[in-house]
Structure 1
Amino acid sequence: MIAVRRNITGIIAIVVALIVFIVPFSFILLTAMKPQQEASLLQFSWPEQFAFFENLVEVVSARDFMLIWAFINSTILTVVSVTLMVIFSAMVGWVLQRRPSRLNPLINFLVLSGLIIPPAVVPTIWVLQGLELFGNLPGLILIEVAFGLSFCVLMFRAFISTIPRELDEAATIDGAGPLRLFFTVAFPLLKSVIVTVIVVQSVFVFNDFQNPLYFLPGEPTVQLTLYNFSSQFSTQWNLLFTNILLITIPPLVMYIFFQKQIVAGMTSGAVKG
C-alpha cells in the first residue's frame, strides 16, 4: 500500500513538472516559429506558417548584431564572476571550517546577511562611482561576485566539514604550507560541490537582468536584449520569443549535462561522516 502511494505521488510530481516546465517552453518554441501576425494572437497552437528561420535571422541581426555582442559580454561576465566566486568562497569556507575563532560567529552572521538583506541599488552605485567602476564590465563582475559569495561559502563550508582532518595533518607533516595544503590537497576534493556552484551560479549570472540594468547602462547583456522587441506600444512576440529561446539554450544545456553533479554537490554536505 505504501509503495502504491509512493508511485502515485511520483506520477503526480511528474505531471506537475510537465505542466510547470514543459508547457511554457513548448509555448515559447511554438510562438518563435510563427510569423508576426500569427504570433500576436498568443495562442497555444501549431503554426500555420513556419517562420522560425526568418525570425532567427532578424533577431541575430537586429541593431547591428547586438545579440552577438550581448552573448560575448554575458560570457565574459559569467566566466570571470563564477571563477572568482569559486576560488574566494572555497578559501573562505575552508578557513571558517578548519580554523574556528571568536570572529567566526560574526563572519557567519555577515554571510547569512548576504542571503537575507536585499541589495541597496543607490548606495551600491555610489560606491562603484567612487571606485570608478560604475558602467563598465569589471564593476558588474564585482557586484555579481559580492552578491553570490554568501550562497557559495555556505555550500563549500558544508562540504568541507565532511573531509577528514587527518588529510590536513598528513599534508602538514609532509611540509605543505597553508596555500599548498588548500590548492593541492583540499581543492581537488571539492570537485562535486565546485561543479554545483559553477552550474548554479553560471545560470544565475547569465540570466541576471536586474544587476546589468542598474550597474551596466549602455552595455548589452543577453537578458537586456529582450528590450529590442518589446516597447510600451507594441511587442513583436515572434521575435521576442525567438530571443528568449536563444538565451535559454546555454543554461538548459548546462543543466542537462551536469544534473547528476548538481544533485551530488547539493547533498554532499547534508550528512556528516
Structure 2
Amino acid sequence: MSTGLKRFVTGFFAVLLTTVVFWVPFYFVIINSFKNQAEAAEMTMALPTTFEIFNNYKEVLTTADNMLIRAFYNSTLLTVLSIIILIFVSAMAGFVMQRREGGRASSTINFLVLAGLMIPPAIVPTIWVLDSIGLFKTLAGITLIEVALHFPFSAILYKAFMSTLPREIDESAFIDGCGGVRLFFSIIFPLLKPVTSTIIILQAINIFNDFVNPLYFFPGANNATVQLTLYNFMSRFTTSWNLLFADIVLISIPPLILFIFFNKKIVAGMTAGAVKG
C-alpha cells in the first residue's frame, strides 16, 4: 500500500470515528429537541412528525422566570472572573517554578502542584471553610474554588512553556535595572500569549460547563449556572426530554463556538513547550 493511500485510509477512518463519536450523539440531541414531549420520550433519531422548535426553545428560555438567561449571566461572570485570576496566578507560579528549578523547595513545590491534579477536593471540609469565612453561596467563593482546582494544570503548562524562554532575557533585564515584578509583567508575560490562549480556551470551557462545583458550593435558584438548569426539566417521576435536549443544545453553543474557532491555538499552546529551547 502506497504512502498516499495509507494517509487517505487513515484520514477516512479518523473522520468516520469522529462522526460516530461526536456528530451522531449531537444529531440525536438536536433532532429530539425539535420534537414534542411524547416523540422525544421514544429516544429515536427519526425526524419529528411536527417540528416544535419555536415552542420548545421558547419554553426553555422562559421556564422558572427566565432561569436559563440568568444562568448564562452567572456562568459567564464566573468564567471570566476565574480565568482572569487563574491566568495571573498560574503564570507567576509557573515562572517561579521554572526559574528556580533545582532549589531546595523546588521539589516540594512541584510535588504539591502535581498533588493538586491527583487529589480530589473534599466537599464537606471545603463547604465548612467557605461558610466559616463567609464565602459559601457567594460568587467570590465559587470563583476561588474554580481557580484552585484548575491552578495545577495551568501552572504546569506555563512552567513547560517558560523553559523555551532563555534566561538571558532575565539577566539582561536585571542589568538594565528592571525589578522582578516589572520583569515578569513587562517582558515575560507578553511572551506567554500562545500558552495563555490555550489555557483561556481550555479552562473557560471547563469552568463554563462545570456541574459539580456550583451544585455543592454555589447553591440557590438565583445562583444557578447553565448546567444546573438541566434540573428544570427533570423530576422523580417524569422528564420532559424535548425541553431537556433543547436546554443541552443552548448551553453547548458557546463552548462549541469557542472550540471550533480557536482549536488551532489550543494545539499550538500545548506543543509550544514540548521541546526546550
Structure 2 counterpart of 1:30: 31
Q: Distance in 2 between matches of 1:10 and 1:110?
A: 41
1: CA distance, partners of 2:97 / 2:237: 53
Task: Quote the Cα distance in structure 1 between the aligned partners of 2:169 and 2:263.
Answer: 29
Q: Does 1:131 align with 2:137?
A: no
1:250 aligned partner: 254
Q: Distance in 2 between matches of 1:35 and 1:262?
A: 39
* Partner residue in 1 for 2:195: 193
Query: d(CA) in 1 for partners of 2:173 and 2:36?
Result: 64
One-letter amino acid matched to 2:189: F
- The percentage of aligned residue pairs carrying the same residue is 55
**What letter is aligned with 2:268?**
A
Match of 1:75 in 2: 76
Residue in 2 that maps onto 1:184? 186
Separation of aligned partners in 2, 1:141 and 1:211:
10
- Other structure's SS at 1:190 match: helix
2:259 maps to a residue whose letter is: Y
Letter in 1 for 2:135: L
**2-structure distance, mates of 1:126, 1:217:** 14
User: In the TM superposition, what are the counterparts of 1:5-84 in structure 2 within 5 Å?
Assistant: 5-84=6-85
CA distance in 1, matches of 2:19, 2:111: 39
Secondary structure in 2 matching 1:29: helix
Offset, 1:36: 1.5
- Aligned twin of 1:141: 143
Give the one of 194, 203, 206 matched to 2:205.
203
TM-score by length of 2: 0.96
Q: Pick which of 36-45 and 179-188 moved more.
A: 36-45
CA distance in 2, matches of 1:94, 1:45: 54
Match of 1:102 in 2: 104
Deviations 1:217-249 (A, max 9, x none): 112000000000011110101100000000000
Give 2:121's aligned residue.
119
Separation (CA, whole Å) in 2 of partners of 1:123 and 1:2: 60
For structure 1, which segment, 186-195 or 95-104, has the greater mean C-alpha deviation from structure 2 after superposition?
Answer: 95-104
Distance 1:173 1:41 in 2: 72
Mapping of residues 168-179 of structure 1, within 5 Å = 168-179=170-181
Please list the CA deviations of residues 133-188 of structure 1 after superposition, one character each: whole Å capped at 9, or x if unmatched: 11111111111000000000000000000011121122222221111111111111
TM-score, L = length of structure 1: 0.97
Pick aligned residue for 1:237 from 211, 222, 241: 241
What letter matches 2:215 in structure 1?
L
Pick from 163, 166, 189 the counterpart of residue 165 of structure 2.
Answer: 163
Give a deviation string over 1:27-73, Cα, whole Å, max 9, x none. 11101111112111111111221111111110000000011111111
> 1:266 corresponds to which residue?
270
How many corresponding residue pairs? 273
After superposition, give the CA deviation of every residue in 1:240-270 in whole Å (9 maximum; x if it has no partner): 0000000000000100111111000011111
- Cα distance in 2 for partners of 1:36, 1:120 equals 39
Over aligned residue pairs, what C-alpha RMSD do you find? Answer: 1.0
Q: How big is the shift at 1:105?
A: 0.5
Alignment partners' CA distance in 1, 2:156 and 2:218? 28
